[in-house]
Amino acid sequence: MDARLESPWRRALRVIPGGVNSPVRSFAAVGGEPFLVESARGARLRTADGRELLDCVCSWGPLILGHAHPAVLAAVEEALGKGTTYGAPTPGETDLAEMITGAIPSVEQIRLTSSGTEAAMSAIRLARAFTGRTRVVKFAGCYHGHSDGLLVTAGSGAATFGVPDSAGVPAAFARETVPLPYNDTGAAEALMRREGDSVACVIVEPVAGNMGVVPPRPGFLEGLRALTLAHGALLVFDEVITGFRLCYGGAQRLYGVTPDLTVLGKIIGGGLPMGAFGGRREIMRLLAPGGPVYQAGTLSGNPLAVAAGIATLSILSSGKAYPVLEAGAARLAEGLARGCAAAGIPCSVSRAGSLLTLFFRPGPVHDWGSARRSDLALYGRFFHAMLERGVFLPPSQFEAIFLSAAHTDRDIDLILSASREALESEAPTAARPRGGD
């Protein structure tokens, strides 16, 4: 068949595994075929078939200012006019590093990478070198990228596709990673009592965002800090999602807990590929070329991504966006909960700043075990009902809704109106309002 006569999606399926270059972009968890995006601006996407959708995914978090923000576009265009990559240092890399270290006191030095996966992998290698130990503690449902040693009870895409331990990962790699229940300080205490002298680091999303949004219970992060200090292990915060999302400085500033190493991504690249890891100078000095820990990347610190990141952080540094984001997300969370209650549908809405998840299950969600007891079939139907009404939600129960500064009060109204209609169509018969006599 002439490829020009195929649908865009069929063409993609023929030459790209599953038709997508990242599994969470598919609709495997909710059914159906994903749309293709042609363009986007502000809080809206335009699909290849001409539909306009209100976007509640925001490229999975980087677009905190919305799509095609004028200041970000201008910065990238200026950088593009000078070239795309040099394989040599640029002043912008230092400028961005100074902005990040100035905003996050625990990060005295930082190394830029091209992705969050690369940054998390490198941070763990660095922690092993610094401590002379090999074991890594992570938490079930937390996702730290797709490097071999971290695909153990991972959330997000791995959970969506039922492959928490990916094929192709040697068992020996997985044995070096110890998974524990998120928000369970007792389990962490027991593990560290038994094996603390072999643990190089504890890595955690300070607010879990890859089993759906799950905030830390009071004392959980503080407990991890105390345990790692007591046993000579490093505490690594994966703030790829939360960094500069919850406030200027990230979750560690919001919760007042200081890690040894921090992993960043998404927002610091302003919508272009970017990751980073950083921490105390005594740890970071072990990185090549000054130290024995090798880490490199041809496009690390790419001038276009650096320019987009600087423009984004410059706007966020005023702090003005955060109250707007907080208010909009709070109103959305409350409205979704009211809509479920009115329809007689059990739900739990979990939120941290401008991140939130509507779980279709009764009672609060506090870990991966409670998240995965959600009604996935109901979420799939709700997703498609919202899409029919022009609202693009994450195509998985185990992902976060992301709001941006481009979402207006009217946009929140539209999302809530669409959700009420979608939820009413799912309401149990007894809960549905009766018509007039």
Active site residue ranges? 143, 238, 266
Q: 337-346 in b/e burial notation, b at 16+ Cβ within 10 A?
A: eebbeebebe
Instruction: Kindly report the backbone phi and psi dihedral angles of residue 219, in degrees, each rounded to the nearest multiple of 5, phi listed first.
Output: 90, -15
Rounded distance between C-alpha atoms, residue 224 and residue 236, angstroms: 10
DSSP character string of 6-43: S-HHHHHHHHSGGG-SSGGGS-TTT-S----EEEEEBT
Beta strands at 52-55 and 199-204: parallel, antiparallel or unpaired? unpaired
Contact indicator for 169, 128 with CB cutoff of 8 Å: no
For residue 56, give both structure tokens: 């509640």
Residue written as tokens 């809530």?
416
- Residues contacting 109, CB < 8 A, separation 6+: 97, 101, 278, 279, 281, 284, 285
- Residues contacting 240, CB < 8 A, separation 6+: 61, 116, 119, 120, 145, 263, 264, 265, 266, 275
Rounded distance between C-alpha atoms, residue 44 and residue 410, angstroms: 13
Which helix (H) or strand (E) element contains residue 123?
A: helix 116-131
Rounded distance between C-alpha atoms, residue 63 and residue 42, angstroms: 9
Beta strands at 177-180 and 135-139: parallel, antiparallel or unpaired? parallel
- Residues contacting 433, CB < 8 A, separation 6+: none
User: Residue type at 322?
Assistant: Y
DSSP secondary structure code for residue 292 in this structure: S
Q: Across the strands, what pairs with 112?
A: 276
- Residues contacting 288, CB < 8 A, separation 6+: 294, 295, 296
